[in-house]
Amino acid sequence: MGSFVSQPLEPVKDVAPPDVASSAAPPEVASSANPVPVIAPGGPAPPAEAPLFNNCWSCRVLSGSGLIGAGGYVYWVARKPMKLGYPPGPGTIAQMVFGISIACWGVVILSDPKGKGFRTG
């Protein structure tokens, strides 16, 4: 499920048709939605896919600063009526907490250098 925009771009590999005489099983059909991987026997395994997040500095700066800005805006909109003298209700407090948590998420994305904060092994 999903669109083509959310999936990484990969070239479609053409698969050579198998010899009919060498195999009695029906041949596998490759389609654009379900490509058949071509792996030589005894060859090296394909490399693991890189994580979608934390893969480049500019991506982290853009997304982290965007989240900090969005969190600041959500917090600022919740604080606005309080500055006018209205007492805060539970919804206003929840909106402020949500804004702070969005901004903290942006700080985490900015400060975690390529997932080095996670232990492997």
Over residues 80-92, the pLDDT tens digits come to: 998 999 999 999 9
Residue ranges making up the domain that contains 97? 89-115
Alpha-carbon distances of 99 from 14, 58, 71, 112, rounded to whole Å: 49, 23, 4, 20
Q: What local confidence, expressed as pLDDT, does residue 59 receive?
A: 84
The tokens for 111 are: 């400060």
Establish if 104 belongs to a structural domain: yes
Establish if 58 belongs to a structural domain: no
Establish if 13 belongs to a structural domain: no
Considering 6-10, 21-25, 106-110, the range whose residues carry the highest mean pLDDT is 106-110
Residue 32 pLDDT exceeds 70:
no
* pTM of model > 0.85: no
Give the separation between CA 71 and CA 109, rounded to whole angstroms.
13
